[in-house]
């Protein structure tokens, strides 16, 4: 499959993002929430690139399926371990596609009273967006391609690839 973003390119961009996030949150205690499972690789690399004190937690969601797809309603498969009240929250997601999942998740998290709430996404496909979603830190903006690797899956496969590749492409 064709490499869209090499492991080195991903790591270079994550170092830049980490520096920016560390600067933006200097003097604050950052709480980082990763969305399982796709964001796992990005989450661990990004957090190691953010050189300020931070805490980490994880949430897992799954979509309810085709019937409720347009609502973007998601089921919380695993909730957070820690509360969010008064905290500076950064949500880390693998990719923002239609934006429906993240839109729903942000409403759930906002209701728990964080002091601030920002989003970091490794990838964004703006041409696919159905709902406006403010992504504060974007790794790479990509075209309307289905990609796998570096945490991203197709039917739970390919998450372990080091690069991000275009699913099904030749070469």
Given the rule CB under 5 A, which residues bind Mg ion?
38
Question: Containing H/E element for 45?
Answer: helix 40-49
CB of 53 to Mg ion, least distance (A): 29
Residue 95 as a binder of ligand IMP (CB under 6 A): the answer is yes
Residue 163 as a binder of ligand IMP (CB under 6 A): the answer is no
Tokens of 127: 């041409």
Residue 139 as a binder of ligand IMP (CB under 6 A): the answer is no
CB of 110 to ligand IMP, least distance (A): 17
Widest Cα–Cα separation across the chain: 49
Tokens of 134: 């403010």
From 2-10, 20-28, 89-97, 112-120, give the range in contact with ligand IMP by CB under 6 A: 89-97
The catalytic residue among 45, 88, 97, 163 is 97
Alpha carbons 26 and 66: distance in angstroms, whole number? 42
Q: Which does 98 bind (CB under 5 to 8 A by kind): Mg ion, ligand IMP, none?
A: ligand IMP
Residue 75 · residue 61 · CB < 8 Å: yes
Please, what is the Cα angle at 57 between 128 and 17, to 5 degrees? Answer: 55
Residues of the shown chain interacting with ligand IMP in the complex, contacts defined by CB under 6 A: 38, 72, 93-102, 146-148, 152
């Amino acid at each position: 499959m064709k490499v869209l973003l090499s492991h080195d390119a991903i790591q270079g961009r994550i170092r830049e993002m980490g520096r920016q996030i560390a600067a933006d949150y200097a003097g604050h205690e950052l709480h980082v929430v990763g969305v399982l499972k796709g964001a796992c690789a990005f989450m661990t690399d990004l957090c190691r690139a953010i050189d300020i004190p931070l805490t980490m937690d994880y949430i897992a969601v799954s979509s309810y399926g085709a019937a409720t797809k347009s609502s973007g309603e998601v089921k919380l498969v695993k909730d957070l371990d820690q509360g969010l009240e008064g905290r500076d929250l950064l949500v880390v997601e693998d990719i923002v596609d239609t934006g429906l999942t993240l839109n729903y998740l942000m409403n759930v998290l906002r209701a728990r009273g964080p002091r601030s709430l920002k989003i970091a996404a490794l990838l964004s496909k703006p041409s696919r967006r159905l709902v406006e979603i403010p992504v504060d830190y974007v790794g790479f903006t990509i075209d309307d391609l289905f990609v796998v690797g570096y945490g991203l899956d197709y039917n739970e496969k390919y998450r372990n690839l080091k690069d991000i590749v275009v699913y099904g492409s030749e070469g």
